[in-house]
Amino acid sequence: MSVAKERGSGEWSKEVFITILAIDTSTRYAGVALLNKDGQLVQLLHWRSQQNHSVELLPTIETVLQRQGATIQDVTGIAIAVGPGSFSALRVGLSVAKGLAWARGLPLVAVTTLEAEAFPHRMTGVPVCAVMDAGRGQLAWALFEEREGQLCQLGDEQIDTPEELLDKLPSPALLCGEGLERYNEALSKGAARGVRLALPYLPGQRVAALAYMGSARLQAGLVQDTGAVQPLYLRRPTITEPRSQTAGTP
């Protein structure tokens, strides 16, 4: 256990033992959180990234650790959000999480971004559908329900238009997640079928949920092989073909 000492009128010590460092760079909303050994969320920073996760992430990790009077030496496990999400942004978070896990010999646990979105709403008593913007007028989504206090996923992750998604949802249901910001008008049409929207969207809840779920999985021994952890992509990236060159063009 690591103890940091601070001086004031007398010398005292405080515990800075950190169970989980949670990292989420899935989307435009990125976040970092710390959970202590008692399961308390002690630090959380989230921000709207301007597609600059690679520059922003490491300084933010350093900031949350410093605020807690801790260093990376005090971390005992890492939780990473593996998507779905932005291709480049996911790779940034995963690369940093893997690098820290390898360098320190720390266990790494993975949580999908849709799981983290659904987790805060698991006790609402109805199926919870987490949604994220997948581009091209579509949503990435998955359906969850609570069983004996646990969040259980019902089926695989899918990509659909808002209209297609509403046709597939049970009634009643709760829609949550970052996808509500862009598609809340289209999704609100499900109200007549008993579909409610968890608005306003609070991005900080996702990284907090990631920390709590990561801690639970660490305690359950659901540790990933660090080298085998991969981002969850629901579609292949769009890669433009190189332009053909005309004869004689250098």
Q: Is the pLDDT of residue 54 over 90?
A: no
CATH number at 16-112+203-228: 3.30.420.40
Determine contact, residues 211/41, Cβ cutoff 8 Å.
Answer: yes
Q: Is the pLDDT of residue 10 over 60?
A: no
Confidence (pLDDT) at 234:
87
Confidence (pLDDT) at 198:
97
CATH topology of domain 114-197: Nucleotidyltransferase; domain 5 (3.30.420)
- Collect all residues with Cβ–Cβ distance below 8 Å to 203 and sequence separation of at least 6: 29, 31, 46, 48, 178
Give the ranges where 128-224 is alpha helix by DSSP (H).
Answer: 162-168, 179-187, 204-219
pLDDT band at 8 (very low <50, low <70, confident <90, very high): very low
Q: Which of 25, 28, 26, 3 is nearest to 13 (CA)?
A: 3
**pTM confidence score:** 0.87
**3 state DSSP class of 148:** coil
Rounded mean pLDDT of 88-95?
A: 94
The string of pLDDT tens digits covering residues 202-232 is: 999 999 999 999 999 999 999 999 999 999 9
Domains 16-112+203-228 and 114-197 agree in fold: yes
Determine contact, residues 111/151, Cβ cutoff 8 Å.
Answer: no
pLDDT band at 237 (very low <50, low <70, confident <90, very high): low
Where exactly are the structural domains of the chain? 16-112+203-228, 114-197
Quick one: how many helices (H) and strands (E) in the chain? Answer: 6, 12
Confidence (pLDDT) at 238:
52
Q: Which of 112, 93, 101 is nearest to 210 (CA)?
A: 112
Q: Is the pLDDT of residue 199 over 60?
A: yes
Rounded mean pLDDT of 62-70?
A: 95
**3 state DSSP class of 209:** helix
| Structure tokens given for 147 | 């069983």
Rounded mean pLDDT of 175-202?
A: 96
The string of pLDDT tens digits covering residues 132-153 is: 999 999 999 999 999 988 999 9
Q: Is the pLDDT of residue 63 over 70?
A: yes
pLDDT band at 18 (very low <50, low <70, confident <90, very high): confident
pLDDT band at 15 (very low <50, low <70, confident <90, very high): low
* Residue 189 to residue 69: CA distance in whole angstroms: 48
Give the ranges where 7-118 is alpha helix by DSSP (H).
Answer: 53-67, 87-104, 113-118
pLDDT band at 246 (very low <50, low <70, confident <90, very high): very low
Rounded mean pLDDT of 227-249?
A: 64
